[in-house]
Amino acid sequence: MGPSVKDVAALAQVSVGTVSNVLNRPEQVTPEKRKRVQAAIAQLGFVRNESARSLRSGSSRSLGMLVLDVRNPFFTDVALGAEDVAEEHKHSFILANSSEDARREQAYLDLFEEQRVQGILITPVGDVLQRLEAMQSRGIPSVLVDRLAGSENFCSVSVDDVAGGRAAIEHLIAGGAERPAFVGGPFTLQQVADRHAGALAAAAAAGVQLQVFETPNLKFERGRHVGDLIGDLRQSRRPDAVFAANDQLALGLLQSFTANGIRVPDDVALVGFDDIDFATQSSIPLSSIGQPRQLIGERAARLLFDEIENPHGHEHQQIVFTPELVVRESSRRPG
């Protein structure tokens, strides 16, 4: 097809070895020949064939990242952070989307293996740890993202959801809440269970009862639904503060409250989780527990490169970020 190193070599009247040197170790080549080769490359429109390079070297200069859901801004932000690091290391970055489907997850892992990626960043869906260990032993390491590695065999970067839940409820109680509530589910999701556990602990420490509204998922509609339920409660039994397990839910609650004339934060204070962009942008800006999303991706990628570049000296680490409360209108109270 296109021109190859041979063609370049012929035109520049040097050997293929010299062309390769110009491409990879230009300082080892006489300026004069270097110029000749570069001129030939430009003239022919030569583009290095990455397949040939990686066939010879045994691995492609690329990272694979497999996320649960590209439509979720959390993951795109994490990916952005990781991509920057990959670029620093002159690696290409393949972003794939398992859509929370274990079959797709397997298919993409197959693909990554065939492509001989140098390493993988993954938010696991199915039961893939064994497979990841096998791949690791074949020289393809991985780092778990947004999930604490149960095993000692991986690095992971995650967030302390218990601390986040605790901070939310402490903040609401400090603002005067006497009947706080938690909204979220299902509790089979580790994140939800942890956030709930933190909330419960904070309430208990303050000697306050925590109402719980369990939801089947974390979507907007569920939030609106629970908001309607709360709106129907007698004033005396109605929570005066709500911590929602994520911002989508919180926005649903907010929409319902607004529609039903329940004032936020005066009647009900509200805190979400994730601090997505739209938390700032809702008509009443939403307080939320923020996670350092880009930083999560960045640290994960750095850990991965550490393992890639130094497979034996490398020690697995579990990085756990503590999320931070961002206070906005929805929970700001005079008291």
Partner DNA sequence: GTTCACTATTGAATCGATTCATACAAGGGA
Partner DNA sequence: TCCCTTGTATGAATCGATTCAATAGTGAAC
Taking residues 1 to 30 in sequence order and writing x for each that binds DNA by CB under 7 A, - otherwise, the string is xx-xxx-------xxxxxxxx-xx---xxx
The CB-of-43 to DNA minimum distance in angstroms stands at 15
- Residue number with CB closer to a copy of itself (212 or 259): 259
57: contact with DNA by CB under 7 A: yes
The binder of 15, among DNA, a copy of itself, none, by C-beta within 5 to 8 A per type, is DNA
Which residues are within 8 A (CB) of 154 and not within 5 positions of it... i.e. 6 or more apart? 129, 132, 136, 142, 143, 144, 316
Q: CA–CA separation, 26 vs 78, rounded Å?
A: 36
The CB-of-222 to a copy of itself minimum distance in angstroms stands at 12
The string of DSSP letters for 271-327 reads: EEEE--HHHHHSSSPPEEEE--HHHHHHHHHHHHHHHHH-TTT----EEEEPPEEE-
Pick one of 39, 52, 174, 233: the residue that binds a copy of itself (CB under 8 A): 52
> 305 to each of 22, 88, 91, 141, how far by Cα in Å?
26, 11, 10, 9
Encoding tokens for residue 229? 């339920």
Encoding tokens for residue 269? 């204070």
Pick one of 23, 33, 44, 92: the residue that binds a copy of itself (CB under 8 A): 92
H or E, element range at 176: none
Which residue bears the tokens 């601390």? 163
Contact residues for a copy of itself, defined by CB under 8 A: 1-2, 45, 47-52, 54-55, 58, 60, 70-71, 73, 76-77, 79-80, 83, 92-97, 110-111, 113-116, 134, 138-139, 220, 248, 251-252, 254-255, 258-259, 277-278, 280-285
Contact residues for DNA, defined by CB under 7 A: 1-2, 4-6, 14-21, 23-24, 28-30, 32-33, 46, 48-49, 52-53, 55-58
